[in-house]
Amino acid sequence: MTITISPELSEQVREKARAEGLSIEGYVERLIREDEEWVEFSEELLNETDSEFVDIRAAVSEGLQQSERGEGRPAQQVFAELRKKHGLPR
Amino acid 52: pLDDT: 85
Backbone angles phi, psi at 76, to 5 degrees: -60, -40
Domain carrying residue 37: 7-42
pLDDT of residue 7: 93
Regarding pTM above 0.75, the answer is no
Helix (H) or strand (E) holding 30: helix 24-42
Whether the CB-CB separation of 56 and 46 falls below 8 Å is answered with yes
Q: How many domains does the chain have?
A: 2
pLDDT of residue 40: 74
**74 lies in the same domain as 56:** yes
55 and 82 share one domain? yes
- Which letter, b or e, does each residue of 7-33 get, where b requires 16 or more Cβ atoms within 10 Å of its Cβ? eeeeeeeeeebeeeeeeeeebeeeeee
Measured CA to CA, the distance from residue 42 to residue 35 in angstroms comes to 10
Amino acid at 14: R
pLDDT averaged over consecutive 10-residue blocks of the chain (90 residues)?
Answer: 91 95 94 88 73 90 92 90 90
Question: What does the pLDDT read at residue 53?
Answer: 86
Residue 64 lies in a domain: yes
